[in-house]
Amino acid sequence: MSRNLTGFTPSGRLHIGNLVGAMRPIAAAQRADDPDATVAFISDLHALTLDHDPALVRERTLEFATLLIAAGIDPERSLLFVQSHVAEHTELHYLLECATGFGEVRRMIQFKEKSGRQEQQVRLSLLTYPVLMAADILLYGTTEVPVGADQRQHVELARAVAERFNARYGPTFAVPRAVLPPVAPRLRDVFRPEEKMSKSAPPGSGVLHLLDEPAALRRTIARAVTDSAADVAYEPETRPGVANLLALLAACTGGDPAELAGGFTGYGELKRAVADAVVAVLEPLQQRYAELAADPGYVHGVLRDGAARASAIAAPTVRAAKQAIGLMADQPPQG
Ligand code: AMP
Tell me, using a 6 A CB cutoff, whether residue 176 lines ligand 1: no
**Quick check: 205 and 173 in contact, CB under 8 A?**
no
d(Cα 71, Cα 7) in Å, to the nearest integer?
15
> What does the pLDDT read at residue 184?
53
Q: Give Cα 260 distance to the centre of its chain.
A: 28
Domains along the sequence of the chain with CATH? 4-184+296-325 (3.40.50.620), 214-291 (1.10.240.10)
Tell me, using a 6 A CB cutoff, whether residue 20 lines ligand 1: yes
d(Cα 273, Cα 270) in Å, to the nearest integer?
5
Tell me, using a 6 A CB cutoff, whether residue 181 lines ligand 1: no
- φ/ψ (deg, to 5) at 122: -75, 130
Nearest protein CA to atom 18 of ligand 1, as residue: 17
Ligand 1 atom, smallest distance to 196 CA = 19
Tell me, using a 6 A CB cutoff, whether residue 22 lines ligand 1: yes
Q: Please indicate, yes or no, whether the overall pTM of this predicted structure exceeds 0.85.
A: yes
pLDDT band at 191 (very low <50, low <70, confident <90, very high): very high
Half-sphere exposure of 251 (CA within 13 A, CB side): 28
pLDDT digits (tens, 9 = 90+) for 152-186: 899 999 999 999 999 999 999 999 999 986 655 68
pLDDT digits (tens, 9 = 90+) for 21-69: 899 989 999 999 999 999 999 999 999 999 999 999 999 999 999 999 9
Tell me, using a 6 A CB cutoff, whether residue 64 lines ligand 1: no
Substitution candidate for ligand 1 out of 14, 18, 23, 208 with most atoms within 8 A of CB: 18
Bridge pairing between strands 144-146 and 177-179: parallel
Structure-model confidence comparison of residues 116 and 174, the more confident one: 174
How many whole angstroms from 312 Cα to the centroid of ligand 1?
28
The length of the chain in residues reads 335
Helix 296-325 to helix 267-293 angle (10° resolution) is 90
